[in-house]
Amino acid sequence: MELRQTIRTGIRNIRRAWWEPGLMLALSALLVAAAWLWIPAPLVENPVQTELLYIQVDSGTHGMVRWKPKTMVERQTARAIVDHMATLHKKNTLCPAHKALEGRPMTVRFLDPPLHEFVPTEEADIEKLAKDMNKSVEDIKAIIAGLHEFNPMMGHRGCRLSVTYPEIAEMQTRAVIEAAINVRRETGINVIPEIMIPLVGEDKELIYVKKIIDKTAKEVLAENDMDIPYLVGTMIEIPRAALTADELAKEAQFFSFGTNDLSQMTFGFSRDDAGKFLDYYYEKKIYEFDPFARLDVAGVGKLIKMAVQLGRSVRPDIKLGICGEHGGDPSTVDFCHQVGLNYVSCSPFRVPIARLAAAQACIRHKND
């Protein structure tokens, strides 16, 4: 009885969170936010072939289990909630996105933000959660306080969440593969999901999470008597990942250079706080441009070029691109073309600029 009641409570929380307008707004920002541009090699011959082929979809996180399950009851409860999350994510996000893309590739980035971003902060919300979970307000506040980090952007986020809570990777994988299966059955569209693991800095992290993905995908495909190919890749957003890209390429089928995080970790300052002093750097000619708007080719670019060479030395056909606001900057697009990247990602309103910049880069470097 206790288990059933706890599961029902958890599922109610998920449903409430999913439909709450404020969280839906945040979800919209995470989901169909970034359009991807394909810059194929043949583009050198025909610059106007640039086509909008990608939509990046970040995994939904509403109703995430906030505690570390210890007892058997808590673990069973966590499993029930995680399974329900997979159903919601598949139905409300992945299936519609696959249908809209009509067979074009879709990259699904696994959960990236730190956990503290998904806990309530208002007193009324904390009290409601405590009541629903049959816990005291003090217990909930203690859990929230325990999730707080002094530097969350370099803390418990990205692939580290799946290492700590493998259920998160299982849930997201199940949602991704089941969505692909459903869309193929309903429409006949051949869907090839591309799963992207964020914030990897060590090849053993990638190996660990990829094993979870492959095991879960195999189970889901067997359950449905279906064979659907999928790709597993990683984001290169930590300098160490760029330096060890040859090791990562043994497991990853594609790289996406997360230039927002890669820039801040290379420069050693937070993009959220740097605005307080960067104007002085521009004024005194220390920096000539905002390193978060235009790629720092001399530093960050050197890491990307090195990672491209290392990755292709192990996997010649590896697919390479960047994601972040840099993807909408013409000079950055030109650099991406020169180092041999296949695609760039940018915000939807930057798509026309990025497409034009890609075509211009092809013409400019036609004889290189």
Shared domain check, 273 and 208? no
Cα dihedral 237, 173, 194, 252 in deg (nearest 10): 50
Residue 224 or residue 33, greater confidence: 224
Shared domain check, 73 and 156? yes
Confidence of residue 81 (pLDDT cuts 50, 70, 90): low
Q: Can you tell me the distance from the alpha carbon of 114 to that of 116, in angstroms, rounded to the nearest whole number? A: 6
Range with the poorest average pLDDT among 36-40, 165-169, 195-199, 340-344: 36-40
Arithmetic mean of pLDDT over the chain: 79
DSSP states of 201-257: -SHHHHHHHHHHHHHHHHHHHHHTT-----EEEEEE-SHHHHHTHHHHTTT-SEEEE
Specify the number of domains making up the chain. Answer: 2
Range with the poorest average pLDDT among 55-59, 81-85, 223-227: 55-59
Q: Which domain holds residue 299?
A: 31-51+237-245+254-368
Read off the tokens for 310: 């290392």
Shared domain check, 75 and 38? no
Predicted TM-score (pTM) of the model is: 0.75
Q: Do the Cβ atoms of 178 and 170 come closer than 8 Å?
A: no
Shared domain check, 70 and 152? yes
- CATH of residue 149's domain is 3.20.20.60
* pLDDT tens readout for residues 179-214: 999 999 999 998 899 999 999 999 999 999 999 999
Read off the tokens for 193: 């999901």
Residue 8 or residue 87, greater confidence: 87
Task: Report if residue 260 sits inside a domain.
Answer: yes
Q: What is the mean pLDDT of residues 274-299?
A: 94
Distance of CA 174 to the CA centre of its chain: 16
Task: Report if residue 3 sits inside a domain.
Answer: no
Shared domain check, 178 and 136? yes
| Residue 230: predicted pLDDT | 96
Q: What is the mean pLDDT of residues 339-360?
A: 91
Q: What does DSSP say about strands 34-38 and 51-58: parallel, antiparallel, or unpaired? A: antiparallel
What residues contact residue 228 under an 8 Å CB cut-off, 6+ apart? 177, 180, 181, 184, 191, 192, 193, 221
Task: Report if residue 193 sits inside a domain.
Answer: yes
Shared domain check, 90 and 38? no
Q: What is the mean pLDDT of residues 119-145?
A: 84
Kindly report the number of other CB atoms within 10 A of residue 53's CB atom.
Answer: 16
Shared domain check, 148 and 285? no
Task: Report if residue 89 sits inside a domain.
Answer: yes
3-state secondary structure of 127: helix
DSSP states of 248-317: HTTT-SEEEEEHHHHHHHHHTS-TTTGGGTHHHHHHTTS-SS-TTTS--TTTHHHHHHHHHHHHHHH-TT
Provide the CB-side half-sphere exposure for 321 (13 A, CA): 27
* pLDDT tens readout for residues 231-249: 999 999 999 999 999 999 9
Q: Could you say which DSSP state residue 90 is in?
A: I
Shared domain check, 269 and 187? no
Task: Report if residue 21 sits inside a domain.
Answer: no
Element (H, E) at 106: strand 106-109
Task: Report if residue 17 sits inside a domain.
Answer: no
Shared domain check, 260 and 333? yes
Q: Do the Cβ atoms of 198 and 241 come closer than 8 Å?
A: no
Percent of the chain scoring above 70 in pLDDT: 75
Shared domain check, 180 and 101? yes
Residue 69 or residue 30, greater confidence: 69
Task: Report if residue 82 sits inside a domain.
Answer: yes
| Residue 86: predicted pLDDT | 64
Provide the CB-side half-sphere exposure for 142 (13 A, CA): 6
Confidence of residue 71 (pLDDT cuts 50, 70, 90): low
Q: What is the mean pLDDT of residues 27-50?
A: 31
Q: Do the Cβ atoms of 159 and 207 come closer than 8 Å?
A: no
The sign of the dihedral angle between the CA atoms of 247, 253, 220, 82 is positive
Q: Could you give the C-alpha distances from 232 to 21, 168, 240, 250, 351, in angstroms and in order?
A: 33, 16, 20, 11, 25
Q: Can you tell me the distance from the alpha carbon of 340 to that of 116, in angstroms, rounded to the nearest whole number? A: 38
Percent of the chain scoring above 90 in pLDDT: 49
Shared domain check, 99 and 43? no
Q: Do the Cβ atoms of 234 and 250 come closer than 8 Å?
A: no
Decide if pLDDT at 119 tops 80.
no
Read off the tokens for 345: 């990602």
What residues contact residue 144 under an 8 Å CB cut-off, 6+ apart? 116, 119, 120, 121, 126
Task: Report if residue 24 sits inside a domain.
Answer: no
Shared domain check, 260 and 216? no
Element (H, E) at 34: strand 34-38
Residue 225 or residue 82, greater confidence: 225
